[in-house]
Chains A and B, each alone.
Chain A
Amino acid sequence: MDQTIKQAGRPDSRAFPAARRKRFSSEGRWGLIMVSPYLIHFFVFVAGPLAASLYFSFSDYDMLNPPKWAGLDNFARMADDPLFWRSLWNTLYFAVLFVPLQTLLALVLAVVLNQKLKGLKWFRMAHFIPVISSWTVILYVADAIFNPRFGMANALLTRLGLDPQRWLQDEALAIPLLVIIAVWKGIGYIMVIYLAGLQSVPGDLYEAGEIDGAGALRKFKSITLPMISPTTFLVVIMSTISTFQAFEQIYVLTGRGDMGSAGGPNNAAMVLMLDLYREGFTYMRMGYASAIAWVLFMILFALTMLQLWGQKKWVHYD
């Protein structure tokens, strides 16, 4: 609208009113043509699938026969499925260890790096190499350290006179170690997000703090932390949501390419995505797998809402 008004003020525009009207309506046509790839995407690959998977979650479906309505059977079965509860528990356990640890360490690193140190670029690059590596690469890197037979960690433990560990093949150690490896891989990514957040904190706030005689710790607590809380929220939302959908890292690190052994010893590292994959793509129980997917979706949705609500409630925006 404002374009038309502006052009109407030009001396030459009145000369071509018909041409202008034609172009304006063709703009609407062009707009729709140009967004059409996304329209196809939305209806064929988002809205349709969303409805379909909701329907499947109330059906019996093996892909050979058409889906058969089964009411709440899939959900009732889920309530009695120990592997589902094990997977849910493991996923929660993973998230509770992973999200705070990665967020905290990344923040500390970013604050340290933000002091205009020389060679910042090189330090940042060092922390980004695991970020750009595939989980297959990370498997062999983790193996160099934590292979139970010939890894460096056991060599070190033996030299110190301690017992060697079975690491990822140990039921109690599997998830904590997966968390450590995931933090190691992802920390550079979160650190860079925090660095961007820190750079937006105005420097005069710190000067004011110094005049008031605040020490480094005090300044961190009273200025840095509140000022970057929007970033912290974003990071926590992002990492929680991606942790609940973690598949590749567990599949590769515990299964080494074999779906049968993925999930660790005695399902110690079985997570929801892996359970879903097996039910759906190994056993072809598409209905049950869709039900698991919807439960996971609801958890993620609730988390997002909770965090959006919390964000409104107590996050500081300047």
Chain B
Amino acid sequence: MKHKRWSRAAAYLAIAISSLIMIVPFVTTLMNSLKTYKEYTSVPPRWIPETLQWSNYAKVLELGNFGQYTLNSLYVAALSVAGAVFSCSLVGYAFARLRFPMKSALFVMVLGTMMIPPVVIIIPHFIIFNNMRLLDTLTPLWVIEWLAQPFGIFLMRQAFMNIPKEYEESAKMEGCNPFQIYLRIFVPMANPTIATLVIFTFMGKWNEILAPVIYLTTNEKFTLPIGILSLGGQWVGNEQLMVAAALISLIPILALFLFAEKYFVQNHASSGIK
């Protein structure tokens, strides 16, 4: 018994230290964002600034293209989320509930696509969007989401497969076609999974760096992660503002996470069961 209490205490200690290692760097970063430039670059560093410069955050919103980057990121994330929900639920429903020619061969294609690393197709994608005159626009960043990504198809298919048969039988009796059954009965019942898909897609697009780096060249078109990095050249002597800008870009994701933590964890946990 005594042994057990000690091991619990050790567990708490270990996990508390680990949590501090996770959190303290963020607190240090928050402090950096509230410093004057002089404090930010002082050696040795001061952990807590003399006065907290909350005005740094207001300055970020006024300076440079920060507002534009935010709008661009929101635009890309919103269109991607809408596209993923629409296309993955549609395709997932067909695979879960309908019989159609070549179904199993097509499903093997979905499986196969998951094993193809993006690295081997990014150059042809670039060429496709170049031929469509869509380089340096936001379109390449969201348009593929409207064509159903394999992960989302899997997720939605799983959700639709778990819905009992009785629900569609009665609708069929009333003469609903498969699309009506999908839209009126199945989509509303898959809401928790759709929430997972929304969060997964939003986070992926909001944080994405590779595709914006490949496709965007004009500063006004930049999304937040690369836009903030590009401020380095413009804000010499104001680097503490870039720290504030980066933390502002974290706010939407953090808010989503605090309110819907279970969807984040569920999604990641379920990828372990697959």
Contact = CB atoms under 8 A, between A and B. Distances in A.
Q: Across chains A and B, which 8 residue pairs bring their CB atoms closest together, nearest first?
A: A31-B100, A257-B229, A49-B124, A41-B147, A134-B207, A193-B272, A196-B269, A31-B98
Interface stretch (A73-81, A92-100, A149-157): A149-157
Interface in A23-49: 23, 26-32, 34-35, 37-42, 44-46, 48-49
B216 to A, nearest CB: 12
A23 B181 CA distance: 13
Given A46-B113, A137-B250, A112 B15 contact: yes
A40 B265 contact: no
B265 A192 contact: yes
A196 B270 contact: yes
Nearest to B16: A123
Given A129-B254, A141-B29, 9 more contacts: A53-B124, A117-B11, A129-B23, A129-B26, A136-B229, A142-B25, A184-B21, A195-B269, A276-B119
Interface in B94-124: 94-95, 98-101, 103, 106, 109-110, 113, 115-124
Interface in B23-50: 23, 25-26, 28-29, 31-33, 40-45, 47
A44 B140 CA distance: 13
B230 to A, nearest CB: 6
26 contacts: A31-B99, A31-B100, A34-B94, A34-B182, A37-B91, A44-B128, A45-B121, A45-B144, A49-B120, A49-B128, A52-B127, A53-B124, A117-B11, A132-B207, A132-B253, A133-B253, A134-B224, A134-B249, A145-B28, A158-B44, A195-B269, A252-B209, A257-B230, A276-B119, A281-B126, A297-B116
B47 A152 contact: yes
Contacts of A150: 40-45
Contact of B232 (A131, A256, A280): A256
